[in-house]
Each structure stands twice: as structure tokens, then as C-alpha cells.
């Protein structure tokens, strides 16, 4: 389910190290290494020519064909052959997966395509194909996406990342969890090297050389480049590797080549919560609903750090010990994940309120449901962790974190503690070195200076690459324009509806000042939701599915059948009344008495019951749909607040169902009733009672 995926993506913010493999028996990282500072280790980074087959690029049937829906001619795929490590003359050759999303309007198609630089690092190409098929940029330009080396169909390694020796790796403390993460990374590195992977070839500059090789293989003298998040860092590396091949450049959600300020997580955490609190204060309903949101959130983070929550789980495959322990990062990082997409912003205070209540009450049912939801699939399956770890090691991500960790802890120990301790940051650096992947020469990562026409964009609400990072690189782009989207999150050129036209206008004439209308008007400030109406319904469903899928299906059939029959009855009674009016008589009773059947008010009562059921089903369904639309994790805590109004109809349905059945029995004792009337009224009463009992059992009553 996507709830699990979103939680996993939020927890990516806590990844502080990357490891790889060394010779047969690499030393374990020191537990308490000396303090680490970002320095320089000179290395020969000059590419060494390596012959590749001719042609280097060949077409191939898309590996996701059948899994992603698209029309013939809309998507095509290919394989690009490149050296794995151009800095080694004996390097093996690898093949990289390339996807082209073709322009929707062939007659309007521009000759200069756009190459998209993916994020992560380690995100698979499929997520971009699904997202960009409807992007407005495709109206006039082909969009080419290179699945970077070590990801998916581009030679992914460590496909079972983190799934080995689980019985030995059930952390009970946050520090232990961090240490176990290092072990998983080393396991991956050892296995990859044993399989012949040269992990020293997995860094941003080798990725940039792959992009250049693809341009040359496809026969483009120049093309347009678009990179978001890690793709913006790769875009800066590409400027150093292939400046002449770039016609125009768009960088969004900026990751500077100098990573130091990117790793100031305490600063980012406070910036994020302060923005939400300030925006909430400007909305009277929000301010009244969440008067002490930041204080409660911080207190919950601290409480979970001091006393983690351990709950039993039935999934012994994912948790051999039969237990899962939650630490402070689950409280702290979920709002980060939701702030990525501006469409979720309205739900952030409600989600914070929900997760804080879980931490305050230490609600075992919801924590168990959360553990079950996160275990429904291979953890981290949405990113190629082996590639991610190698690149972050060589590019200096853990080293940058280690350089600021003490400062961050001194500034705000609660917020910094969500992302690990300074000791663990230093251990991460030691682990990279133990794996044979020390940080590359920092001279390569000096700020870019270029006159390439460049558009630098950022969302004002971006939680992980905030706008101040864009300001760091902006001076080096002498022909650059900066645009900030005031209500957007991470990567507005990807997510804002008008972004396609915005990008097209820039690529059509990169020298022209961009029209800021899209940035100003393409998104609206979020109107925050009130606290949810609390219900354990979703938690109950997840736990039942964990216990027994057949019983969960049976329960679903019970609820759906009751709701459907009652809703149909609500539509049938008016139709039947209309039919009788058209006939000007009661067809069902004419053959017996010539007079309408006297049901002793059982039929009107049944009609009222059916209408009540129809209103309840429609209202509750709409509440569930709007809750999920606001933010999928929100439904773990309840439904939008007004669902509580409809919840009172659930016990009322039970009373009405009983009243209908009692009245029907009383009337039947006194007089004959046609079979159709008996069935129609009787089924209405039974289904109303059934639906009421279902909602009681599954936690949808108002008390």
C-alpha cells in the first residue's frame, strides 16, 4: 500500500551513510573513530577511453510493458552500453536502461529534447514514467529518462537489500538500529563486489559521463537538461563534464555540490515546523484546533527517544522476533514526507496531531497496525539502496553530516536526534572507508561557474532542499534566473499543474525572462484540516488482514453487501412509489382487495431507514475518500472531522432496523401481506441492523 511507501520515503531523510565492498574480509568500521572533517584525498578523475560496441545504443521492449498503461508510440526504451568505471582502463562494460516519452503533438514537436536527471539517488525510472506521462512538457518535446547505473534495469545490485539475517537484526534501541544499518550496507557492498561490481565507479561524475555518452549515442549536438533533487546535483556535475552539450538547463529542489548545508537537519526540521505553525496561526480554525502543535510534537519526539514503543506482530518473515520497535524518527519524519507534495500540506497539522496522540497514549493497536502496514512488502523496495549508498559515500554525504553533527546537536538536540547521533555520523564515515569508498577529491565538487542559460527553481515549502540551498549555487550561474514557488513543496516543476507550459516557454526561448505567473498562481496556500474524527477502523482492517486474509475478505463482503443493499433500497422505494402513482393503483394488492396494502407504517419506516442508510453510506464514503485524498497516512488516525456527524447514523440505523422488523412482525400478525412487501421491508430492516453491527464491530460508532 502507498501508506507504507510514503513512510519509507520519509525515513530516507534519516539515511546518513553509504557503504560498499572491499576485498574478501573487510574490517568492520570502528565504533568510535576520530572526529571526521571534510578534507581532500587527491584522486585521478580523468576519464580513460574505453571502447564500446557499435552501436552503443539499441532499442529494447520496455521492461515495464504491461505494468504501466500507455498507448503505442507513446513510450520507447533502449539500452546504452558504457564502461562501468572510465577511470580504470580494464573496466567492464555495463548496460543502462533508457526511456523516451514521446511528444504528444508530433506536428508541434521541437527538435531539441529534454533529458531528465532522476533523483534519490536510486529512484527507479518507473515512478517517473507513471508521473510524467501526463506532464505538460510532453505537448511539444520528447522527454528522455536515463535509469542511472545500479538502478532497476540498469544493473541493480543488492536486490535483497536489508532482507538478510533478519533474525540477528531486530534493534531495541535507536543507536543499535543505526549500527545495524551500517551492517546491512556492508553486506550489500560485499555481495556486490563478489559479483564483479566496481562500486568505485558509482558517483555523480560517472553518472554525468553516462548522460554525455547517451547524448552522443542518440546523435544530439545539444539538448535541454532538467534535474530535480539529486538530479540537480547531477546537473551541476554535468555542466563540468559536458557543458557544450547543454542548450538550456533547469535545476529544481537544489542539492549543492558542497553538501555541508544540505545536512543541517535540525535547522531544516525547525524551519519546517515553524512554517506550518506560522501558517496555522493565520487561520483561526487551525489556531484554535492546534494551539501548541510544535511543543507537543517536540515532546512526543523526546518521549519516543527516551522510551521507544515495542509491539508484537504476526509477520515472522519480516520480523522474526515477533516484535517491532518504533523510535523517535517515526514521529519526527512523517511530516517531512508529507510536505514533499503540496497536495498534502492541508493535512500536515492533523497528521502531526494524530502521530503525537499515538505517542502520547502509546496506543498499541495503532502502532501494531502501523507495523503491519510498513511490513506489507519488501522495505525500501522503491529505491536501489546499493547504488544509493555507493554514490553518497563517494560524493561525501556522510562526511558532510559528520562535519556538522556536533553543531546541530548543540543547536537543537531534540531535532538533531531524529537523524542520528554525531557518533553514528562518524561511524558512517568509517564504514565508507572500511568498504573502500572514501570521499572523492573535493576539488571536483567546487561550485559551478557557467553562462549556460539556466532556470533555478525551488518550492518555498521544500522540507529537504529548502530555498536557501538554491541561493548558495545561484551566483555561479551568470546567465541564470531564480524562481521560487511560494506554496509548493519538493520539485514544483514536476508537480505544479502549469509547470509544463512554464518549462516549455523557458526551453523555447532560454534567453527570455520567465513569466512568473505560474509560480505565483500555480498553487494555493493550504487551508488546514481540523483534527480528524478518531476511529480505529483502518487499524482494525489492517490487523484483521494481518491475521487472516480470508476473514478480512469475508468482513469486507459483509460490510459492502449491507451497505449496497441498503443504498439500493433507498433508491428503490421512491421508484416503487412513482410506479404506483403512474399506475394509479397498488399493483401488488389489486388482485386481492382492490385497495392499497396497509403495512401499518412498516413501509414508510423502511423507506426512512433506507434513506438514512443511503445518507450514511454516501457521507462516510465521501469522508474516507477526502481523508485519503488529503494524505493517505491520515486515515490511520481517523477520518475528516465532519465524518463524526455521519457516525451518529450508524447506531440510529440499528434502532431503525429493529423498529422496521418489529413493526413488520406486528402487522403480519394482524393481516396478510404480499410476499414482495414482506421481502422488501424485511430485507431493509435486516440490512440496516447488519450494517449497524458491522460499524460497531469495526470501530465506526461515535462512542
Copy the grid coordinates of residue 38.
571534510
Domain ranges of the chain: 533-697
pLDDT higher than threshold 60 for residue 11: no
Computed on alpha carbons and rounded to an integer, the radius of gyration of the chain in Å comes to 30
Q: What percent of the chain has pLDDT over 70?
A: 87
- pLDDT of 131-185, one tens digit each? 999 999 999 999 999 999 999 999 999 988 888 888 777 888 888 888 888 888 9
Q: How far is CA 116 from CA 150, 226, 281, 304, in A?
A: 17, 5, 39, 40
Can you give the pLDDT at residue 13?
38
N- to C-terminal Cα separation, the chain: 29
Q: Say how far apart CA 124 and CA 130 lie, in whole Å.
A: 11
Tally Cβ neighbours within 10 Å of residue 32. Answer: 8
In this prediction, residue 49 carries a pLDDT of 58
Over residues 572-626, the pLDDT tens digits come to 766 665 655 555 444 444 444 445 566 668 788 888 998 899 899 999 999 999 9
pLDDT tens sequence across 209-222? 999 999 999 999 99
Residue 258: band (very low, low, confident or very high) from pLDDT cuts 50, 70, 90: very high
Task: Give the per-residue pLDDT at 600.
Answer: 66
The per-residue pLDDT for 203 is 97
Residue 59 — φ and ψ, nearest 5°?
Answer: -75, 155
pLDDT in tens, 478-528: 999 999 999 999 999 999 999 999 999 999 999 999 999 999 999 899 999
Does residue 596 sit in helix, strand or coil? coil
Parallel, antiparallel or unpaired: strands 75-83 and 57-60? antiparallel
CA torsion, ordered 612, 613, 619, 625, to nearest 10 deg: 180
Q: What is the pLDDT of residue 321?
A: 87
Is residue 84 over pLDDT 60?
A: yes
- pLDDT for residue 575: 61
**Contact by Cβ (8 Å): 493, 224:** no
> CA 660 → CA 381, 502, 651, 691, 702, distances in Å?
52, 61, 14, 14, 23
pLDDT number for residue 583: 54
- Strands 223-228 and 533-534, how do they pair? unpaired
DSSP letter string over 607-648?
HHHHHHHHHHHHHHHHHHHHHHHH-GGGGGTEE-TTHHHHHT
H/E stretch holding 75? strand 75-83
Q: Residue 578: what pLDDT?
A: 63
* 70-76-81 Cα angle (round to 5): 145
pLDDT of residue 375: 67
Q: Is the pTM of this model over 0.95?
A: no
pLDDT confidence of residue 421: 82
* Average pLDDT score, the chain: 86
Q: How high is the pLDDT of residue 506?
A: 98
Average pLDDT estimate for 254-271: 92
20-47 tens-digit pLDDT: 222 333 333 333 333 333 333 334 455 6
pLDDT at res. 465 = 96
Reported for 474-478, long-range contacts at CB under 8 A and 24+ positions apart, including other chains, are 475/447, 476/447, 476/448, 476/449, 476/450, 477/448, 477/450, 477/452, 478/449, 478/450, 478/451
Pairing label, strands 454-459, 480-485: parallel
Query: In the sheet that 143-147 helps form, which strands lie side by side, from edge to edge?
Result: 57-60, 75-83, 93-101, 143-147, 114-117, 223-228, 246-252, 454-459, 480-485
Nearest-angstrom CA–CA distance, 658 and 685: 7
Amino acid at each position: 500500500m502507498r501508506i507504507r511507501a510514503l513512510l519509507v520515503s520519509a525515513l530516507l531523510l534519516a539515511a546518513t551513510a553509504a557503504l560498499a565492498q572491499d576485498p574478501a574480509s573487510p574490517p568492520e568500521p570502528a565504533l568510535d573513530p576520530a572526529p571526521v572533517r571534510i578534507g581532500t584525498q587527491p584522486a585521478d578523475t580523468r576519464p580513460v577511453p574505453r571502447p564500446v560496441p557499435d552501436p552503443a545504443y539499441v532499442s529494447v521492449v520496455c521492461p515495464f510493458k504491461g505494468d504501466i498503461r500507455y498507448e503505442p508510440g507513446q513510450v520507447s526504451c533502449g539500452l546504452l552500453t558504457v564502461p562501468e568505471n572510465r577511470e580504470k582502463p580494464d573496466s567492464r562494460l555495463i548496460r543502462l536502461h533508457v526511456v523516451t516519452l514521446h511528444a504528444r503533438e508530433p506536428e508541434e514537436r521541437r527538435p531539441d529534447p529534454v533529458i531528465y536527471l532522476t533523483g534519490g539517488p536510486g529512484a527507479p525510472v518507473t515512478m517517473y514514467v507513471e508521473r510524467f506521462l501526463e506532464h505538460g512538457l510532453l505537448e511539444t518535446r520528447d522527454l528522455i529518462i536515463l535509469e542511472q547505473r545500479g538502478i532497476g534495469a540498469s544493473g541493480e545490485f543488492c536486490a535483497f537489500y536489508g532482507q538478510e539475517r533478519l533474525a540477528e537484526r531486530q534493534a531495541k534501541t535507536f543507536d543499535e538500529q543505526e549500527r545495524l544499518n551500517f551492517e546491512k550496507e556492508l553486506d550489500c557492498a560485499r555481495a556486490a563486489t563478489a559479483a564483479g561490481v566496481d562500486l568505485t565507479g558509482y558517483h555523480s561524475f560517472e553518472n554525468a559521463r553516462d548522460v554525455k555518452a547517451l547524448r552522443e549515442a542518440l546523435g544530439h549536438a545539444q539538448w535541454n537538461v532538467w534535474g530535480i533533487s539529486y538530479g540537480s546535483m547531477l546537473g551541476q556535475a554535468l555542466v563540468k563534464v559536458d557543458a557544450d552539450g547543454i542548450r538550456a538547463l533547469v535545476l529544481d529542489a537544489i542539492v549543492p555540490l558542497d553538501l555541508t548545508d544540505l545536512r543541517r537537519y535540525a535547522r531544516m526540521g525547525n524551519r519546517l515546523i515553524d512554517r506550518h505553525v506560522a501558517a496555522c496561526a493565520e487561520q483561526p480554525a487551525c489556531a484554535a484546533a492546534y494551539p501548541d502543535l510544535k511543543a507537543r510534537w517536540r515532546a512526543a519526539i523526546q518521549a519516543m527517544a527516551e522510551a521507544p514503543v515495542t509491539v508484537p506482530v504476526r509477520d515472522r518473515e519480516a520480523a522474526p522476533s515477533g516484535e517491532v520497535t518504533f523510535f523517535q524518527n517515526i514521529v519526527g519524519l512523517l511530516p517531512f514526507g508529507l510536505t514533499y507534495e503540496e497536495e498534502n500540506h492541508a493535512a500536515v497539522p492533523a497528521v502531526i496531531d494524530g502521530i503525537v496522540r499515538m505517542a502520547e497514549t502509546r496506543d498499541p493497536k495503532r502502532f501494531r497496525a502501523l507495523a503491519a502496514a510498513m511490513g506489507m512488502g519488501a522495505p525500501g523496495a522503491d529505491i536501489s539502496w546499493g547504488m544509493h549508498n555507493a554514490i553518497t559515500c563517494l560524493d561525501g554525504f556522510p562526511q558532510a553530516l559528520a562535519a556538522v553533527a556536533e553543531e546541530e546537536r548543540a543547536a537543537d538536540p531534540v531535532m538533531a536526534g531524529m537523524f542520528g547521533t554525531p557518533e553514528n555520523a562518524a561511524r558512517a564515515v568509517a564504514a565508507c572507508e572500511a568498504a573502500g569508498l572514501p570521499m572523492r577529491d573535493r576539488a571536483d565538487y567546487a561550485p559551478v561557474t557557467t553562462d549556460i542559460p539556466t532556470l533555478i527553481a525551488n518550492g518555498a515549502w521544500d522540507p529537504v532542499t529548502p530555498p536557501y540551498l538554491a541561493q548558495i549555487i545561484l551566483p555561479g550561474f551568470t546567465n541564470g534566473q531564480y524562481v521560487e514557488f511560494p506554496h509548493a513543496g519538493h520539485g514544483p516543476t514536476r508537480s505544479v499543474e502549469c509547470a509544463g507550459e512554464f518549462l516549455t516557454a523557458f526551453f523555447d526561448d532560454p534567453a527570455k525572462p520567465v513569466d512568473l505567473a505560474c509560480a505565483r498562481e500555480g498553487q494555493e496556500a493550504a487551508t488546514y484540516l481540523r483534527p480528524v474524527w478518531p476511529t480505529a477502523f483502518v487499524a482494525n482492517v489492517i490487523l484483521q488482514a494481518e491475521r487472516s486474509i480470508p476473514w478480512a475478505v469475508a468482513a469486507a463482503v459483509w460490510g459492502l453487501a449491507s451497505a449496497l443493499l441498503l443504498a439500493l433500497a433507498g433508491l428503490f422505494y421512491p421508484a416503487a412509489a412513482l410506479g404506483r402513482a403512474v399506475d394509479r393503483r397498488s399493483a401488488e394488492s389489486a388482485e386481492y382487495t382492490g385497495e392499497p396494502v396497509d403495512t401499518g407504517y412498516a413501509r414508510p419506516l423502511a423507506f426512512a431507514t433506507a434513506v438514512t442508510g443511503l445518507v450514511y453510506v454516501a457521507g462516510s464514503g465521501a469522508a474516507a475518500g477526502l481523508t485519503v485524498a488529503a494524505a493517505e497516512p491520515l486515515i490511520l488516525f481517523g477520518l475528516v472531522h465532519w465524518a463524526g456527524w455521519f457516525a451518529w447514523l450508524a447506531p440510529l440505523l440499528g434502532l431503525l432496523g429493529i423498529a422496521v422488523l418489529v413493526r413488520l412482525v406486528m402487522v403480519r400478525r394482524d393481516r396478510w401481506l404480499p410476499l414482495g412487501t414482506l421481502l422488501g421491508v424485511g430485507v431493509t430492516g435486516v440490512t440496516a441492523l447488519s450494517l449497524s453491527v458491522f460499524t460497531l464491530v469495526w470501530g465506526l460508532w461515535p462512542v
